[in-house]
Amino acid sequence: MYEHLLYPKSIAVIGASKDEKKIGNVILKNLLYYGYNGRIYPVNPKNEDIFNIKTYPSIKDINDEIDLAVITLPSQFVPDSITECVEKGVRYVIVIAGGFSETGKKGAELERKILELIKGSRTRVIGPNTVGVYLPKSKVSTALTLPDRTALPGEGCLAFISQSGALGLLTMDTISEYGIGVSAFINLGNRIDLSETELLDFFKEDENTKSILLYLETFKNGREFFNKAKDIVKSKPIVVLKSGRTEAGAKAASLHTGALATDDSIVEGALKQAGIVRAYSETEMIDYGRALGYQKPLTGDSIAIVTTAGGLGVITADYVASETNGVGLKVATLDDKTKEDLREVIVPFGSVENPVDLTAEGSTEQYDKVIEILNRDKNVDGLIVYALFQTAKVDESLIDVLEKHMSEKPMIVGILGSKFGKKMLLEAERRKIPAYPSMERSVKAMKVLYIRGKYLKGRNVE
């Protein structure tokens, strides 16, 4: 029943308010501001309407099924609200407020009470101490972001689950600039009920999600999570940014989310065994999620590199081949026939060895032919193509060429620059071509296609 959470048809805002200082005011306004087109029900016994929307004294007075309720009240009022939500049969309840286990004994007691109240019911709780959800397709945001301070991404195919709200919002703000979208963002907060494990199931089912990204400081139930992940990675890639991997980090995590330290080598082993790709930074998490979500896995380790700037070819070859400061793949040795064919296309002072260098004379047509030729070479498993728009002989149609070849061997695209380059990077993203603004990031994206390919092969998954 993941649709009730990811695509809610009705939302109740418990504690909706006319007072601009109240969270219930901001969240209700956000639903209106972002244009949520489901049914909105403000709940507040003191008002008959808020923003001209009929307001109910209790959620139980609403004559409709409620998919999602957002409790915006302070912690001490939450249990009573939960009771009403359970009685109403609400599917999902987001508890925004802090003041629970993260503040001590009294707060922990409140959490136990909530769990007691929902036991045996169909009501599930997200949080407490959470920014809630951001669902771009449904145009729902329960996060208390300032619109002029934080950008939220558009619709995309990355599902993003984060134990930390702020880290999630900061990451989404950052990727907005690159036109990268999400299918949904869910902040686990104190995670007393709904956890990352069940969300894996939700996103496995969700057809708008192509890859699942998680930021975690701990696993709520590691064994269960890894078992489930092992099944799901067969059809959808999972990327985990697990922090607290050092003693210093684990100590910080224990202060942040009350995480108990786990030996990182155990985490590392479990991730590998489950076929989860590990990221070490927010940038890697998104980069890997895009590569795996937009592109098929690699079936071998030999990479062809296409460039119009020789220096990029050299640096990229280093990154591809190096075990220490690189990813330890192979720079493909091209077939003689390939080189002959390339010679027909490329200017005489260009290189038909790998990295293939079209030079600044390289045109959109040449890119097209060169990629085609390399796709025919059985020594080539994947391509890193630098689409450099700084020279006169390429134009916007190079993006069409890249899109056309997306159905062939796995291809990662590098697009550098700020003016035209940035514009084309956004256009590539719009078409779900995995493009990166740096050489290192392009090569690392290729590596995760290899990791996934090798893992699936080892488990005989086609």
Q: 260-299: which residues touch a copy of itself (CB under 8 A)?
A: 280-284
Cβ atoms < 10 Å from Cβ of 228: 20
Binders of a copy of itself among residues 71 to 100 (CB under 8 A) are 98
* 390 counts as binding a copy of itself under rule CB under 8 A: yes
> How near is the Cβ of 115 to a copy of itself at its closest, in Å?
22
> How near is the Cβ of 103 to a copy of itself at its closest, in Å?
6
> How near is the Cβ of 358 to a copy of itself at its closest, in Å?
11
User: Which of the stretches 6-14, 77-85, 193-201, 384-392 binds a copy of itself when contact is defined by CB under 8 A?
Assistant: 384-392
Which of 217, 301, 427, 429: binder of a copy of itself (CB under 8 A)?
217
Q: Quick one: tokens of 73?
A: 């009240």
Token pair 């969240």 is found at 27
> How near is the Cβ of 43 to a copy of itself at its closest, in Å?
26
- Rounded Cα–Cα distance for residues 237 and 297 (Å): 10
* 360 counts as binding a copy of itself under rule CB under 8 A: yes
Binding-site string for a copy of itself from residue 174 to residue 203, where x marks contact by CB under 8 A and - marks none: xxxx--------------------------
> How near is the Cβ of 99 to a copy of itself at its closest, in Å?
9
* 215 counts as binding a copy of itself under rule CB under 8 A: yes
Q: Which residues does 46 contact at the CB level (< 8 Å), separation at least 6?
A: none
Binders of a copy of itself among residues 407 to 426 (CB under 8 A) are 416-422
Binders of a copy of itself among residues 233 to 252 (CB under 8 A) are 241, 243-249, 251-252
Which of 55, 101, 138, 164: binder of a copy of itself (CB under 8 A)?
164
Q: Which is nearer to a copy of itself, 12 or 26 (CB)?
A: 26
Q: Which is nearer to a copy of itself, 236 or 444 (CB)?
A: 444
Q: Is residue 460 left, alpha or beta, with left meaning phi > 0 and alpha meaning psi from -120 to 50? A: left
Binders of a copy of itself among residues 113 to 152 (CB under 8 A) are 145-146, 148-151
Binders of a copy of itself among residues 304 to 323 (CB under 8 A) are 308-315, 317-322
Q: Which residues pair with 331 in a beta bridge?
A: 303
* 222 counts as binding a copy of itself under rule CB under 8 A: no
> How near is the Cβ of 223 to a copy of itself at its closest, in Å?
23
> How near is the Cβ of 341 to a copy of itself at its closest, in Å?
18
- The CB-based long-range contact list for 342-346 (8 Å cut-off, 24+ gap) reads 342/370, 342/373, 345/369, 345/370, 345/373, 346/370
- Rounded Cα–Cα distance for residues 430 and 153 (Å): 12
